[in-house]
């Protein structure tokens, strides 16, 4: 069973967390690839990554992907998240874990920005 976890940093401001959760809900509605899908936070909010992994494994997931919703390749993208994934690989030898490229690596970001800035002034 294939699963994906969308990872955001997490914020003390609940509105920020809610915006991410709402985005993930929309993605979940459209996705046809993964059987299990959920948002998780690196820190400051719940659920955390390991809790979601545990939940998915209990539900039968044997192939779990992680999508870091981070714009730039800072410490969290380069170190923190890969370290968590490596820990999980050691703890769950029978599960396939895959760390996908972070959001900021998408080649479509330029098109989104160009689209947004090309709107006429009101």
Predicted structure pTM score: 0.93
pLDDT class for 119, splitting at 50, 70, 90? confident
DSSP class of 108:
T
Per-residue model confidence as pLDDT tens digits over 80-98: 999 999 999 999 999 999 9
Q: Is the pLDDT of residue 120 over 80?
A: no
Could you give the CA distance from residue 31 to residue 5 in angstroms, rounded to a whole number?
A: 13
Look at residue 122 in the predicted model and tell me its pLDDT: 59
Domains of the chain and any CATH numbers: 2-117 (3.40.50.1400)
Task: List CB contacts of 20: < 8 A, sequence separation 6 or more.
Answer: 6, 8, 39, 69
Could you give the CA distance from residue 69 to residue 23 in angstroms, rounded to a whole number?
A: 11
DSSP class of 38:
E
Look at residue 121 in the predicted model and tell me its pLDDT: 65
Q: The tokens of 83 are what?
A: 């370290």
Per-residue model confidence as pLDDT tens digits over 71-81: 999 999 999 99
- Phi and psi at residue 7, to the nearest 5°: -110, 125
Across the range 1-30, mean pLDDT stands at 97
């Amino acid at each position: 069973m294939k699963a994906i976890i969308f990872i955001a940093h997490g914020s003390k401001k609940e509105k920020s967390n809610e915006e991410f959760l709402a985005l993930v809900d929309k993605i979940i509605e459209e996705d046809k690839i993964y059987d299990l899908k959920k948002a998780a936070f690196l820190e400051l909010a719940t659920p955390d990554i390991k809790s979601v992994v545990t939940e998915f494994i209990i539900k039968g997931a044997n192939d779990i992907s992680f999508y870091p919703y981070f714009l730039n390749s800072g410490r969290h993208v380069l170190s923190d998240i890969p370290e968590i994934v490596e820990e999980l690989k050691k703890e769950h030898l029978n599960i396939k874990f895959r760390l996908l490229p972070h959001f900021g690596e998408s080649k479509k970001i330029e098109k989104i920005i160009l689209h947004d800035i090309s709107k006429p002034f009101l």
